Structure 1
Amino acid sequence: MFIINLTYKTELEKVDQHLNEHIEFLNEQYELGNFLASGRKIPRTGGIILSKVENKSELEKIIKKDPFKTNELADYELTEFIPSKTCDELKFLME
């Protein structure tokens, strides 16, 4: 499992110009089962995505398709972790 930490590197006006494309990218990844959760940071300096993609190189290939990446609007930090404890609703993360 990975935490993807996006940090915008441009003004929000440019980010907003590509927001619909980014949402389409997210929707596709949810449909493929690659992403589990996503959302904006507060304050709005970027976002967070939880991914169940199993290896980093595959996740990096997926991220290259994100309009925020292709338009150089955000930096991406990938943190891999293994869940060792969850609430009952998220037990599937440990399978």
Structure 2
Amino acid sequence: MYFISLHYIATLEQVDALIPAHVEWLNAAYAEGCFLASGRKVPRTGGAILAVNMPRERLDALLATDPFYTGGVAEYQVTEFSPGMAHPDLQHWIGQ
């Protein structure tokens, strides 16, 4: 699995202009089964995405198409982790 931390590198006005396209991108990634959760950081300095296990190259290719990335308003930090424990409802997604 992956935890993706987005950090805004532009003004919130620039970020807000790309939200419709970013939400469309998120919806497509959810439909493909790539993401489990996503949302804004509090305070609003960026966002976070929890992604399912997939080849890192696939994740990097997916992130490269995010309008926040292509629009130059966010940078990413990707952390891969192997859950040792999880709620039973998540077992399908994490492969335990």
Tell me the alpha carbon deviations over residues 21-65 of structure 1, each in whole angstroms, 9 at most, x when there is no partner: 000000000000011100000000000001114121111100111
When the two chains are superposed, the root-mean-square deviation of aligned CA atoms in Å is 1.0
The Cα of 1:94 is off from its aligned counterpart by: 3.4
- The 1-side partners of 2:92 and 2:66 are apart by 26
Question: TM-score, with normalisation over the residues of structure 1?
Answer: 0.94
In the alignment, what sits opposite 1:50?
50
In the alignment, what sits opposite 1:19?
19
Structure-to-structure mapping, 1:1-95, within 5 angstroms: 1-95=1-95
- The 2-side partners of 1:52 and 1:11 are apart by 30
Give % identity: 42
- The 2-side partners of 1:32 and 1:47 are apart by 20
- The 1-side partners of 2:67 and 2:94 are apart by 31
The count of residues paired between Structure 1 and Structure 2 equals 95
Q: Please say if residues 30 and 36 of structure 1, whose CA atoms lie closer than 8 Å, have aligned partners that are also in contact.
A: yes
AA at the equivalent of 2:40: R
**Unaligned residue ranges in structure 2 (runs of 5+):** none
Aligned residue for 2:44, secondary structure, equals coil
**Unaligned residue ranges in structure 1 (runs of 5+):** none
Q: Please say if residues 53 and 94 of structure 2, whose CA atoms lie closer than 8 Å, have aligned partners that are also in contact.
A: no
The Cα of 1:90 is off from its aligned counterpart by: 2.0
